[in-house]
Amino acid sequence: MLAPLSWLKEYIDVTLESNKLGDRLTEVGLGTEKITKDKDDIIFELEITPNRPDLLSIIGVAREVAAMEGKKIKYPKAIVDIKNVKPKKVLPLKIQTDHTINPRFTGMIIDGIKVKESPQWLAERLIKIGQRPINNIVDITNYVMFELGNPLHAFDYDKIEGHVLKVHQTKGGEEFKSVDGVSYHLPKNAVVISDSQNLIDLCGIKGGENSGTFEETKTIFIRVPVEVPNLIRRSSQALGLRSEASAIFERGVNAGGTIDALQRCVDLVLQIAGGEIASQLYDIKKEEFEPWKLSVQTNRLGKILGIEIPKQKAVSILESLNLKPIARKDEIECTIPTYRNDLKIEEDLIEEIARLYGYNKFPKIIPGGEIPTKTIPYFKDYRLEEKVKNLLKASGFSEIYSYSLVSEKALLALDINPEKTLRVDNPVSIEFEYLRPTLKIGLRNGLLQNKPNFEEINLFELGKVYLGEDLDKAKEAYFLSGISNSKSFVEIKGVLENLLEELGVKQDPSKNIEATEEGVLFEVNLSEVLEKLSPRKKYLSIPKYPPIIEDLSIEINPKIKYGAIVNVIAAQSKLVNKVELLDEYRNKKTFRITYLSRERNLTNEDISPIREKIIKAMKANFKATQI
Amino acid sequence: MKVKNDASSLIIAAEDEKELNEIKLDFLGRNGKLTQLLKRMKDLPEERKPEIGRLANEIISTVEDLLATRGEELRGEKKEKIKRAVEDITIPGVKPSLGHLHPMSQVLFDVIDVFKGLGFQAADGPEIETDRYNFEILNFPKDHPARDTQQTLFLDTRKSKATSGETILRTHTSTMQGRIMEKIKPPFRVIVPGKVFRYEQTDASHGFEFWQFEGYAVDKNITFTNLMGTLDYFVRKFFGEETKIKFTSHNFPFTEPSLEGYVSCVVCKGKGCSFCKQSGWVEVLGGGMIHPNVLRNVGIDPAEWQGFAFGTGLSRLVILKYQMDDLRLLTNPDLRILEQF
């Protein structure tokens, strides 16, 4: 929303210096994004929140300044009394409308106008707020919309076939040519106006090709509607077509403001384009659209905000917002003008009082009372994650964060079937279409990207992957994965063994490691590992008795796996405490075996039968012989 | 004789004691070359035995001497090396290889730490979400313009029972308000860090994937000033004691009253610079008192309980803390970036 200072000054005295005014506007909720000098004027660029359609108008912004500064607004004065006008002639027009799709339809015919260029002051104001002047009639309707916040549309009366306006909803697929010559196929349930022949207006969004005003236009019908927000929003989204008017309607237009807007428009048309009123005032509506009552309890005000704002102060703030407060014993009752349809519940009034009181006058107090200790649902112990990441770091790996969304190409490169991968329907680009079922994609990219600059590359990521072929089977899991072009299989295995040991999880990580052309990759389902976490470490007393340590050399088929031999040795007696491979050469291997008892001193007599058993077992299992 | 020469040359070339030991085993061990040679003596004709025997013993003693001498030399060299290293303490240390934690993780752990001190528990939840948790419960009705502020990525629902348009990637971590609050009764204090997704074109300050964290507390008397106090405490702990915070009014569908929090620029300390667009302030937080509709939606009586909720971009905090100029740096795996942290 652009608001020129000169235009604001039409309704209110602004005394604040413009940077100060910008800061104050931001503080009360009109985010001032930019203040620019424009010749001898200053333009404020404001970010308006979706709940405040009234601030999409200059008068709305002026009302906020008035509230901030405790000043009064000067509204434009009415010239012709349109409610009680007695037209000399009345032109025929039949209006058929439906309250459920068009809650209010206000309008009037003006005959004998002259379409020409707008006067300079009008054109200049529109240019300042980024609008292109077209002709006096179109410009006046635009001007009034930006001034008061109610969109209006002027139809060329002579082009309305049969002098009938029928408001209805589309069946879907109808063709519509807009005032700027673009063709659209309309979605279902769009609210439109047809005359006896054609579809002439896409309500709340855009006028039709034949419904505007042209050089030869002599008679106009001005319509000021109230539209149903979600109907406008759906059509506008379906068509990808937005306008200043649709932005106001989808937020909820000031339903009580149609007559004032029409009044202003008629006055300006008569003044600028001439002509005379040629109909009664049309005002077809389902209800009166009156202001409503809303109260705030004074004790609740203090309980929510945490400070005591004196009642008198609260009343004066509500007064400055034109909410007509009446102070009672325990509450303040307000009457909410129809342009403030964001004020519906007590908390809304509390916010009004707080924001104008000034957020930065509030004390800043940390919550007191007892700290809740009950473990919450979805609790996550981030210390574990920290431990895992630190261990990887200490093992020489650097951490990366990569995107969850990946391309089809990336999946295919890893032989992953995209058909069996979760997918986004409306990706921002085909590069980011699928939810990754593995972290390897990001890690491989990371390795390749770093190759030109680094010889040794060790990367890891701890992140979410999205498993399951379709949404019914979808499952999110944390994976811990890494890649290295400088560490060997056994070194990486050692890192993972350290990690699992640190977490107290018994698991063989061999299958999680994969040697590829680029480097050694590992991937562990950390969510699963953490489920197996041993809850607590328990102290085991230091052995009181010394161990006996012996070396055993055997000749054995070198194809037999180390793991298998150790398992057989360990299985021969409970006294075997530890088995390590000391040395190997071709078909010879030397193991160091530690025997330990926690109950007594071991002697050679305890050990020699076990030694014999082991040698026998080596022979029986592996045809191995002692050397 | 060849064995003797081999042994001598190897011994002289040996560079440390370990290598020397290996040579010793190779020649003099139980299966060593010289030992084997002696064993084969029994196959020799009787008359040659004394001569060869003498020769063999001579070789063995020469090799043993050589080994001993070289051993002493090596020990001396080592001592010399140690002496030299200790004398010149400016020699760079030999570092074991150490990786780097991503700045996002470091900030994440910092944030959790600060809030832990205030009694907040951390939670984690799904990224694949339903419209209900992402919007409906949080007072974003269907067809409400507030949804425009969070453009959504929808999941492909073909091949599944899910309704098209209902399953999405969460657009904010506030989804965890509904998920947690509908399962427990107040009082509670919660923070939720996590990844969120938006249908948004990427540039220096926007992305389709980024990190947020959410915090909320509900009790009998949690107030708007408590929200301000909590945020003020957080920014001073996180950015530094001298950091200032200011608040402006804002609107979010799930809080009322609502606010935005700005911190004094971390680069210029509030004087105004290009980083803060000369304003001296940087917008970082949004929050407010949890809207009564949200409390009702999760079965909590807003007349009895009240609380605040706030959220911020975790990615944005990283950028601010380290004065980075582009959000995309956080997903760039370049080690020249990562090694700085």
**DSSP line for A50-117:** TT-GGGGSHHHHHHHHHHHHT----PPPP-S-GGG---SS----EEE--TTT-SEEEEEEEES----P
Q: Looking at this protein, which amino acid is placed at residue B68?
A: A
Q: What is the pLDDT of residue B32?
A: 77
Query: Tens digit of pLDDT for each residue in B252-275?
Result: 999 999 999 999 998 888 888 887
Q: Which of A453-462, B88-97, B177-186 has the weakest average pLDDT?
A: B88-97
For residues A455-481, average pLDDT: 96
**H-run or E-run covering A583:** strand A576-585
Relative to beta strand A398-399, strand A458-467 is parallel
Q: Are B320 and B103 in contact (CB under 8 A)?
A: no
Of all residues in chain A, the percent with pLDDT exceeding 70 is 99
For residue B105, what are the contacts with CB-CB under 8 A and spacing of at least 6? Answer: A386, A389, A399
Taking CA atoms, B98 is separated from A23, A393, A467, A498, in Å, by 48, 6, 32, 16
The tokens of A154 are what? 């002027």
Cβ pair B123:A376 closer than 8 A: yes
Q: Are A253 and A226 in contact (CB under 8 A)?
A: yes
Q: Are B64 and B34 in contact (CB under 8 A)?
A: no
Mean pLDDT computed over every residue of chain A? 94
How far is residue A157's CA from residue A141's CA, in Å, rounded to a whole number? 15
The tokens of A532 are what? 């197996």
Examine the pLDDT at B37 and tell me if it is beyond 80.
Answer: no
| Size (chain B), residues | 341
β-sheet bridge partners, residue B196: B210
Q: What is the pLDDT of residue B3?
A: 66
Q: What is the pLDDT of residue B87?
A: 72
Cβ pair B229:A426 closer than 8 A: no
How far is residue A581's CA from residue A566's CA, in Å, rounded to a whole number? 9
Dihedral angle computed from the Cα positions of residues A348, A350, A356 and A362, in that order, rounded to the nearest 10 degrees: -130
Nearest to A359 among B124, B186, B249 (CB): B249
- Burial of B26-59, coded b for 16+ CB within 10 Å and e otherwise, reads ebbeeebebeebeeeeeeeeeeeeeeeeeebeeb
Q: What are phi and psi of A274, to 5 degrees?
A: 75, -160
Examine the pLDDT at B10 and tell me if it is beyond 90.
Answer: no
Q: What is the pLDDT of residue B2?
A: 63
Cβ pair B99:A392 closer than 8 A: yes
Q: What is the pLDDT of residue B142?
A: 85
Residue A157: exposed, middle, or buried by beta-carbon count in 10 A (0-12, 13-18, 19+)?
buried
Interface test with B, best of A228, A398, A404 (most B CBs within 10 A): A398
Q: What is the pLDDT of residue B272?
A: 85
Assigned fold of B103-338: BirA Bifunctional Protein; domain 2 (3.30.930)
The tokens of A289 are what? 């659209």
β-sheet bridge partners, residue B3: none
What does DSSP assign to residue B139? Answer: T
Cβ pair A423:B156 closer than 8 A: yes
Q: Maximum Cα–Cα distance for chain B, whole Å?
A: 117
Of all residues in chain B, the percent with pLDDT exceeding 70 is 96
Which of residues 338 through 357 in chain A touch B, CB cutoff 8 A? 342, 345, 347-348, 350-351, 354-355
Q: Nearest chain A Cα to B221, which residue? A: A303
- Burial of A389-418, coded b for 16+ CB within 10 Å and e otherwise, reads bebbbebbbbbbbbbbbbbbebbeeeebee
Name the band, by pLDDT with cuts 50, 70 and 90, for residue A543: confident
Name the band, by pLDDT with cuts 50, 70 and 90, for residue B84: low
The tokens of A127 are what? 């240019």
Q: What share of chain A is helix, strand, coil (3-state, %, to 5)?
A: 35, 25, 40
Name the band, by pLDDT with cuts 50, 70 and 90, for residue A306: very high
Residue A193's Cα: distance from chain center in Å?
A: 35
Query: Tens digit of pLDDT for each residue in A425-448?
Result: 999 999 999 999 999 999 999 999
Q: Which of A343-352, A536-545, A614-623 has the weakest average pLDDT?
A: A536-545
Domain parsing of chain A, residue ranges? 2-69, 82-285, 292-359, 382-531, 548-626
Interface test with A, best of B107, B108, B250 (most A CBs within 10 A): B250
Q: What is the pLDDT of residue A1?
A: 94
Q: What is the pLDDT of residue B77?
A: 72
Taking CA atoms, B76 is separated from A88, A306, B16, B124, in Å, by 124, 78, 11, 61
Which of residues 502 through 531 in chain A touch B, CB cutoff 8 A? none
Q: What is the pLDDT of residue A195?
A: 94
Q: What is the pLDDT of residue A536?
A: 66
Half-sphere exposure of B223 (CA within 13 A, CB side): 22
Q: What is the CATH number of domain A2-69?
A: 3.30.56.10
Taking CA atoms, B124 is separated from A158, A375, A532, B192, in Å, by 65, 13, 19, 6
Q: Collapsing DSSP states into helix, strand and coil, what is residue B298?
A: coil
Of all residues in chain B, the percent with pLDDT exceeding 90 is 58
Interchain contact A422–B (C-beta under 8 A):
yes
How far is residue B19's CA from residue B16's CA, in Å, rounded to a whole number? 6
Q: Which CATH architecture does the domain made up of A548-626 adopt?
A: 2-Layer Sandwich (3.30)
Q: Are A130 and A3 in contact (CB under 8 A)?
A: no
Q: What are phi and psi of B290, to 5 degrees?
A: -55, 130
Interchain contact A450–B (C-beta under 8 A):
yes
Q: What is the pLDDT of residue B278?
A: 83
Q: Collapsing DSSP states into helix, strand and coil, what is residue A155?
A: strand
Residue A194: exposed, middle, or buried by beta-carbon count in 10 A (0-12, 13-18, 19+)?
buried
Interchain contact B31–A (C-beta under 8 A):
no
Name the band, by pLDDT with cuts 50, 70 and 90, for residue A21: very high
Query: Tens digit of pLDDT for each residue in A387-406?
Result: 999 999 999 999 999 999 99
- Say if A2-69 and A82-285 have the same CATH topology: no
Q: What is the pLDDT of residue A584?
A: 84
How far is residue B333's CA from residue B104's CA, in Å, rounded to a whole number? 13
Q: What is the pLDDT of residue B99?
A: 96
Q: What is the pLDDT of residue B54?
A: 74
Q: What is the CATH number of domain A292-359?
A: 3.30.56.10
Name the band, by pLDDT with cuts 50, 70 and 90, for residue B322: very high
Cβ pair B229:A365 closer than 8 A: yes
For residue B273, what are the contacts with CB-CB under 8 A and spacing of at least 6? Answer: B265, B267
Which of residues 73 through 92 in chain B touch A, CB cutoff 8 A? none
Cβ pair B155:A422 closer than 8 A: yes
For residue B57, what are the contacts with CB-CB under 8 A and spacing of at least 6? Answer: none
- CA-nearest of B286, B331, B314, B294 to B149 is B286
Residue A232: exposed, middle, or buried by beta-carbon count in 10 A (0-12, 13-18, 19+)?
buried
Nearest to A29 among B125, B251, B331 (CB): B251
Work out the angle at residue A251's Cα, subtended by the Cα atoms of residues A121 and A96, and round it to the nearest 5 degrees: 85
Work out the angle at residue A292's Cα, subtended by the Cα atoms of residues A286 and A298, and round it to the nearest 5 degrees: 160
Q: Maximum Cα–Cα distance for chain A, whole Å?
A: 131
What HEC string does A208-260 produce?
A: ECCCCCCCCCCEEEEEEEECCHHHHHHHHHHHCCCCHHHHHHHHCCCHHHHHH
What's the whole-model pTM score? Answer: 0.85
Q: What is the CATH number of domain A382-531?
A: 3.30.930.10
Mean pLDDT computed over every residue of chain B? 89
Query: Tens digit of pLDDT for each residue in A101-151?
Result: 999 999 999 999 999 999 999 999 999 999 999 999 999 999 999 999 999
Name the band, by pLDDT with cuts 50, 70 and 90, for residue A544: confident
Q: What is the pLDDT of residue A535?
A: 63
Examine the pLDDT at A555 and tell me if it is beyond 60.
Answer: yes
Task: Report the side by side order of strands in the sheet with A458-467.
Answer: A398-399, A458-467, A475-484, A520-525, A513-515
Which residues from B are below 8 Å from A394, CB to CB?
A: 98-99
Half-sphere exposure of A367 (CA within 13 A, CB side): 30
Residue A341: exposed, middle, or buried by beta-carbon count in 10 A (0-12, 13-18, 19+)?
buried
Q: What is the pLDDT of residue A144?
A: 98
For residues A282-302, average pLDDT: 95
Q: Are B176 and B214 in contact (CB under 8 A)?
A: yes
Which residues from A are below 8 Å from B160, CB to CB?
A: 470-472
For residues B83-88, average pLDDT: 68
Q: Are A160 and A176 in contact (CB under 8 A)?
A: no
Q: What is the pLDDT of residue A348?
A: 97
Half-sphere exposure of B314 (CA within 13 A, CB side): 27
For residues A160-169, average pLDDT: 96
Q: Which of A260-264, A553-557, B220-224 has the weakest average pLDDT?
A: A553-557
Q: Which CATH superfamily does the domain covering A82-285 fall into?
A: Phenylalanyl-trna Synthetase, Chain B, domain 3 (3.50.40.10)
Asked, as a colleague might, if the bond just before A377 is cis with ω within 30 of 0, I would say no
Q: Are B114 and B107 in contact (CB under 8 A)?
A: no
